[in-house]
Amino acid sequence: MKKLAPPIAAAAAVLALIGVAGASAPAAPAAPVAAVAGPLDPGPYHHRLNGLVGTWRAVKTNYVLDPSAPIVSRDITVKVGWITKTGDRFLQERTEGTLGGDRYYRMGVLGFSTIDRRYEWTTFDSVTPTAMTYRGPALSAVPSVITIPGEFTDPGIFGPEYLGKTIPMRTVITLGRRPVFELFFTPPGQAERLADKVVYTRRLA
C-alpha cells in the first residue's frame, strides 16, 4: 500500500476528526415561533366583553312606548354568548320576556372591528320594524363604558309628524358586575332623551 506524504496524512486526519465530530453532534432544535395576532384575531377589545357572557335576569325600562309613564319589565331574561363559528369575534344576545303586557324578544350582535378599531352593534326586536344598527368611533384604548352611535327611521313612535324621519341614537354599554345597556334618541329639534334601559341584575348561569 502506498503511504501518504506526512502533510497530506495530517490534513486527512484533521478532516476525519472534523467529520466525526460533526456527525456526532445533534442538531439544535428550532426555537418555537411565537404566534402573532393578525387583524382578524380577537384581541383585548373583544375580551373586554367577556363580562357580558352568561344568562342573566334583567330589568328593562322603556320611556317612549307610553308617553304617560315608563314601562318597567322585571321578567326579562338575557342570554349572551360568543358565536363560535365566527371565531369568537361576535357576541350574540337574546332577550325574552314581556313589555307592556306583550311578549318581547330581541336578538343582537355585538362585536369589535379590528380593521376600523370600533365596536359595532345591531339589534332586531319584536317592537321595532327595522334593524337598529350602530357603529362606534375609532378607539385607542380599551374602554369600561362603550358608546356606539347610530340612526334609524322613525316608524312613528314620536308621533305622526316624525314618521319616516331619521332619528340619531346611541347605545351606551356600562360594563361591570351589573352591566347596563342604555339607549338614547335625539328627535329633530329636541334634546337627547333616554329611550330604554336594561340593567343586568343577576347572573343565572
The model's pLDDT over 165-186, given as tens digits with 9 standing for 90+, comes to: 999 999 999 999 999 999 999 9
User: Does 8 reside within a domain?
Assistant: no
Residue bearing the bigger pLDDT, 37 or 203: 203
User: Does 79 reside within a domain?
Assistant: yes
Each as own residue / partner, the long-range contacts of residues 148-151 (CB below 8 Å, 24 or more positions apart, any chain) are: 148/119, 148/120, 148/121, 148/172, 148/173, 150/121
User: Does 24 reside within a domain?
Assistant: no
Q: How many domains, the chain? A: 1
User: Does 151 reside within a domain?
Assistant: yes
Residue 60 has pLDDT above 50, yes or no: yes
> CATH code at 76?
2.40.128.20
Domain that holds residue 135: 44-203
User: Does 30 reside within a domain?
Assistant: no
User: Does 38 reside within a domain?
Assistant: no
Residue 26 has pLDDT above 70, yes or no: no
User: Does 50 reside within a domain?
Assistant: yes
Query: Is the pTM here over 0.75, yes or no?
Result: yes
d(CA 60, CA 105): 12
d(CA 100, CA 106): 15
In the chain, pLDDT over 90 holds for what percent of residues? 72
Query: Count of alpha carbons within 13 Å of 129, Cβ hemisphere only?
Result: 7
User: Does 104 reside within a domain?
Assistant: yes
